[in-house]
Amino acid sequence: MYKILTLNNISVKGLERLPRDRYEISSEIQNPDAVLLRSANMHGMEIPGTLKAVGRAGAGVNNIPVTQMSERGIAVFNAPGANANAVKELVVAAMFLAARDICQAWEFARHLKGSDREINDLTEAGKKRFVGFELPGRTLGVIGLGAVGVLVANTARAMGMKVIGYDPQITVRSAWRLASDVQPVYSVDELMAEADMITFHVPENDATRGLVNAKRLGLMREGVVLMNFARSGIVDEAAVVEALSVGKVHAYICDFPTNTLKDHPRCVTLPHLGASTHEAQDNCAVMVADEVREYLEAGNVRNSVNLPEIVLPRAGQGDRLTVVNANVPNMLGQISTAVAEASLNIEDMYNKAKGNLAYTVADVEGKITAEVVERIRATEGVLAVRVIE
């Protein structure tokens, strides 16, 4: 029986991928084999010795101590692209909220008092405060052209906007999907200087934290609109509030309310709703449940952020050995020697590295003994060893 600890509500559609005769799933379980979560913060959490995998039913993994997981040979999975359409739709909504001052106008209307005739008079007199602008012909800057950024860029093009994009590490897959008339720019500063509206779709990490700061705000066009449905940390909020107050920034629409932002009249903060559609919740949960199950039951790795992609069809009837180890010389030699010296024939074997980690899958003829496992486990650089029958 595999034990799965859930740290957030995970869609039933996803949990149904883990059959009850093989999986015990609870938010309170002891000694879990895997954790499934959404945005719960795992930093500082005590990591159970039994943990083999963490599945993030979503895109961002900054709520997971990935380095610490890697040091213990624990695989971390996410659900790339599974919620991208939901985020795109909210970003498109944000563009209209900003362009037409919809939230501010609604607030104005909600506070009108008097008879309907008086309200009508106040409406007609007050509406000039909310003259907006239209999107065709405006320039949208997209920073980060991954699953979400590509969808946003393509939709904005379809709405008649000029779109410029920045992503120095764009994947071939994203480049294929991106509308061919999205224009690349080669620096954040260049994008910021040329866009009327800017949207961010990058992970939060050391390179992106504070991406929007006072200096960069100074480069932007007067009345620029900023949209942040990525992570709060990529924006220096105090600098944005200052820029909003002097009219440099027309509106800041984001998914991350804070005390600095939530009451500002030119700032619309939504309660982290980017991925909160039934479709996205189902997609993410199904994808990540399948990944975790495949890893626990077969040792295969799909969509891991710290282990290399390895999907090896099972060879023969014997045991499968899986080893997570540091990406240093001679690990494979030591693993295969330990297997060979136990007189076990290897039918099929695959080894691949990703960053600091490497992962080995070996199908052997017959049973792998506890001695072989212990010998491999004791090898310097080996982080996790499993035998799958």
Ligand X SMILES: O=C(O)C(=O)COP(=O)(O)O
CB neighbour list of residue 135: distance below 8 Å, 6 or more residues apart: 95, 96, 99, 156, 159, 160, 161
CB neighbour list of residue 256: distance below 8 Å, 6 or more residues apart: 228, 231, 232, 269, 272
Nearer to ligand NAI by C-beta: 57 or 296?
57
> Site for ligand NAI (CB under 6 A): which residue of 255, 290, 319, 363?
255
Residue 38 touches which of ligand NAI, ligand X, none (CB < 5 to 8 A by kind)? ligand X
Rounded distance, CA 212 to CA 229, Å? 14
CA 347 to chain centre: 37
DSSP string spanning 347-371? EEEEEEEETTEEEEEEEESSPPPHH
Sign of CA pseudo-dihedral 5, 11, 14, 15: positive
What residue number has its CB nearest to ligand NAI?
146
Interior CA angle at 25 toward 362 and 305, to 5°? 45
Subset of 307-346 contacting ligand NAI (CB under 6 A): none
Contact criterion met (CB below 8 Å) for 85 and 151: yes
Q: Is 87 in the site for ligand NAI (CB under 6 A)?
A: yes
Rounded distance, CA 177 to CA 181, Å? 12
Interior CA angle at 209 toward 100 and 258, to 5°? 55
Q: Is 276 in the site for ligand X (CB under 6 A)?
A: yes
Residue 299 touches which of ligand X, ligand NAI, none (CB < 5 to 8 A by kind)? none
Residue 80 touches which of ligand NAI, ligand X, none (CB < 5 to 8 A by kind)? ligand NAI
Print the binding letters for residues 167-186 with ligand NAI: x by CB under 6 A, - otherwise. Answer: x-xx---x------------
Q: Is 55 in the site for ligand X (CB under 6 A)?
A: no
Least CB distance to ligand X at residue 38 (A): 3
> Site for ligand NAI (CB under 6 A): which residue of 25, 59, 217, 239?
59
Q: Is 15 in the site for ligand X (CB under 6 A)?
A: no
Subset of 79-98 contacting ligand X (CB under 6 A): 83
Token duo for residue 255: 């998914």
Subset of 258-287 contacting ligand NAI (CB under 6 A): 272, 274-275
The span of 52-60, 157-165, 216-224, 351-359 binding ligand NAI (CB under 6 A) equals 52-60
Print the binding letters for residues 25-44 with ligand X: x by CB under 6 A, - otherwise. Answer: -------------xx-----
Q: Is 201 in the site for ligand NAI (CB under 6 A)?
A: yes
DSSP 8-state class, residue 73: T
Rounded distance, CA 138 to CA 380, Å? 58
Amino acid letter for position 313: P
Count Cα atoms within 13 angstroms, Cβ side, for 218. 3
SS3 278: helix
Size of the site for ligand NAI (CB under 6 A): 33
> Site for ligand NAI (CB under 6 A): which residue of 53, 140, 145, 226?
145
Nearer to ligand NAI by C-beta: 83 or 155?
83
Q: In 10 A of CB 166, how many CB atoms?
A: 23
Contact criterion met (CB below 8 Å) for 97 and 86: no
Token duo for residue 299: 């040792």
> Site for ligand X (CB under 6 A): which residue of 32, 58, 141, 165?
58
Residue 316 touches which of ligand X, ligand NAI, none (CB < 5 to 8 A by kind)? none
Q: Is 275 in the site for ligand X (CB under 6 A)?
A: yes
Q: Is 165 in the site for ligand X (CB under 6 A)?
A: no
Residue ranges in contact with ligand NAI by CB under 6 A:
58-60, 80-81, 83-84, 87, 143-149, 166-167, 169-170, 174, 201-204, 207-208, 229-231, 255, 272, 274-275
Residue ranges in contact with ligand X by CB under 6 A:
38-39, 58-60, 83, 272, 274-276
